[in-house]
Amino acid sequence: MAAAAGRLRQAGIEAPQREARLLMSLASGLTTSQLILRGHLAAPDDLRESFERMVRQREACVPFQHIAGTASFFGLDFISDARALVPRADSEVVVEAALRLLPEAPGLEIADLGTGSGCLLIALLVTRPDVSGTGVEADVAAASLAAENIARHALESRARLAVQPWAEWSGWGSVDLLISNPPYIRSEVIASLDPEVRLHDPEVALDGGADGLDAYRELAGLAQTRLKPGTPVIFEIGYDQQGDVRAILSAAGLTDIGSAKDLGGNDRVVWA
C-alpha cells in the first residue's frame, strides 16, 4: 500500500495514503479500520490485480466515487459515474436551505432543474416523506442515472423525471419550491479545472457560458413567467457569483433574496 500511496502522491492526489487505504478497502471488502488493525501493508496475492487496476484509475485522476461506483451525499448513498457530476459536499447547503424554506403543508411539489445524479431531489424527498418532486434533466444519460438513484432509494412513487429542456417542461405551474445546481463555471475557466473535474465530470454540467451566468438568467426568466407568485427558488452558485446572481434575480422581479455559505466559508447558495 505504501508503493501505491507514493504513486498517488506523484499523480498529484491530495491525501495519497488515505486514498490508497480506501482503494484497498474497496478491493478487499474490509473497512479501513480492519485494514489498519490487520497491518495490511501489501496487497494480498488474490487482490493484487483488482487493487492495481483501481490505483491505475486513480492515478489517471478518475474520481474515487467513479471507481467505487457510489458517492455519499447528505448521509445517503448514490450511484455515481461519468453520466453526471459527482455529488459534492458543498451542495448539501442547497438541501439545508430548501428544508428551511419548504413550508410544513402536506402534499407539496418540488422541482429540481438539471437534476443530474438526482442527489438534491432525492435528499429532499428522503427527508420530507410528505413531499413529491420532479427532476427536470435534458441530458438523457444523466436522467438514466437519476432514474437508477430514484429506484435505489425506492422513491418511484414520489419522484418523477422529465427528460427535456427546462423551458419545455409543462410542470412549472404546480411547483411549490424550485431548486437547481446549474452549470456555473465560466467557459474559459473549464480548461484549467482540476483534471478530476475537467476529464470526468460532464462538461454540460459545468459550463455556464462566457460569464458563467447563462443558466441563472434562464432560470430567473422562467421563474418570473411560469411559477406561481411567491414560490421560493434556491440556486447553488460559484464562490464569486453572489452579487451577480442577486442582481439577476432582482432584475427578474424576485424578492426576499438571501444567501448562505458552504462549510469552506464560500458563498454557495442564493434564494429568493
Residues that bind ligand GLN (CB under 6 A): 88, 181-185, 197, 206, 236
In the complex, least distance from residue 236 CB atom to ligand GLN, rounded to whole angstroms: 6
Query: Cβ 36 to ligand GLN, closest distance in Å?
Result: 31
Q: Nearer to ligand GLN by C-beta: 52 or 203?
A: 203
Which H/E stretch holds residue 136?
Answer: strand 132-136
H helical segments located in 29-159: 32-38, 45-59, 64-68, 92-101, 119-127, 140-152
Shortest Å, Cβ 237 to ligand GLN: 9
Determine contact, residues 60/82, Cβ cutoff 8 Å.
no
Rg of the chain (C-alpha set) = 20
Residue 133 vs 183, nearer CB to ligand GLN: 183
118 annotated as belonging to a binding site for a ligand: yes
What is the total residue count of the chain? 272
Distance set, CA 107 to CA 102, 110, 138, 176 (Å) = 11, 10, 26, 10
Query: Does 216 show up as a binding residue in the annotation?
Result: no
* Minimum distance from residue 215 beta carbon to ligand GLN (Å): 8
Q: Is 39 annotated as a binding residue?
A: no
The answer to whether 171 is a known ligand-binding residue is no
Give 16 or 116: the residue with its C-beta nearer to ligand GLN: 116
Is the Cβ of residue 21 or residue 212 nearer to ligand GLN in the bound state? 212
Min dist. Cβ of residue 186 to ligand GLN (A)? 10
Rounded to whole angstroms, the Cα distance separating 11 from 6 reads 9
Is 208 one of the annotated binding-site residues? Answer: no
d(CA 145, CA 123): 15
Q: Determine whether 152 is exposed, middle or buried from the number of CB atoms within 10 Å of its CB (0-12, 13-18, 19+).
A: middle
Beta strands at 258-261 and 267-271: parallel, antiparallel or unpaired: antiparallel
Instruction: Return the residue nearest ligand GLN (CB atom).
Output: 184
Q: How far is the CB of 78 from ligand GLN (least distance, A)?
A: 16
239 is in an annotated binding site: no
Which C-beta is closer to ligand GLN: that of 16 or that of 183?
Answer: 183
116 is in an annotated binding site: yes
Please say which residue, 24 or 71, places its beta carbon nearer to ligand GLN. Answer: 71
Nearest alpha carbon to residue 116 among 57, 55, 8, 204: 204
166 marked as part of a ligand binding site: yes
Write the single-letter amino acid at 235: F
Binding residues for substrate: 181-184
Report the binding-site residues for S-adenosyl-L-methionine. 114-118, 137, 166, 181
| Known binding-site positions | 114-118, 137, 166, 181-184
